[in-house]
Amino acid sequence: VTPTCKASPAHSRHDRRSNADSHFSDDQLVSMSVRELNRLLRGLSKDEVMRLKQKRRTLKNRGYAQSCRHKRVQQKHILEHEKTSLVSQVEQLKHELNRLARERDAYKLKCEKLSGANCYHETGSTSDNPSSPEYLINDISIIFMKLILLDRCVPHLLFLFKIIYIIMQIVVFFFHLPCFSFTMDQ
């Protein structure tokens, strides 16, 4: 009689586990549906089924965590890029604001000079005489410049002032010609 060697329960369980593990790769466990997995697990022991399902759940959770980390890193890069872009835009807007403030100050200074120019006329010049065309054109040109600088008039009003200004320049030109020697008092 030859002695027969019976496998221990732990050894046979290890054989079955490695046998079940060899049937399913990690990728197969993760990719198959629950229904398909249950169908393939028929005939295995309850412990083996629970171990494979737990392994599948662990692998799935690992994949979800990796996907979540990847999305978080991507989102971080996107937000960093947006932040850099916004910081750049803020700097550009600051420069533009400073430029516009300087431009505004220059226009204010011009406007103040024009307002002051209305009060200071050369003595004895024809522009001091309210009936002279130079006086009128000087006032119109000051009003015209103020409207342009302040940008408070509607386009058709600005156009009208341009026409009046041109007509007044023509009138002044003709008054200075030697063939026209009349005055506005006539």
CB atoms under 10 Å from CB of 161, counted, come to: 18
Supply the pLDDT for residue 107.
85
The Cα–Cα gap between 180 and 166 comes to 19
Average confidence score pLDDT of the chain: 73
Confidence bin at 182 (pLDDT 50/70/90): very low
Supply the pLDDT for residue 65.
95
Q: Say what angle helices 9-23 and 46-117 make with each other, to 10 degrees.
A: 50
Contact 128, 135 (CB under 8 A): yes
- 83 and 136, same domain (yes or no): no
From 27-41, 66-80, 104-118, 156-170, the region with the lowest mean pLDDT: 156-170
Q: Which residue has the higher pLDDT, 140 or 183?
A: 140
- 84 and 19, same domain (yes or no): yes
Q: Which domain does 47 fall in, by range?
A: 9-93
96 pLDDT above the threshold of 80: yes
11 pLDDT above the threshold of 50: no
Query: How many domains does the chain fold into?
Result: 2
- 25 and 61, same domain (yes or no): yes
Name the burial class of residue 92, with classes exposed (0-12), middle (13-18) and buried (19+) by CB atoms within 10 angstroms of its CB. Answer: exposed
The whole-number average pLDDT for the span 40-64 is 92
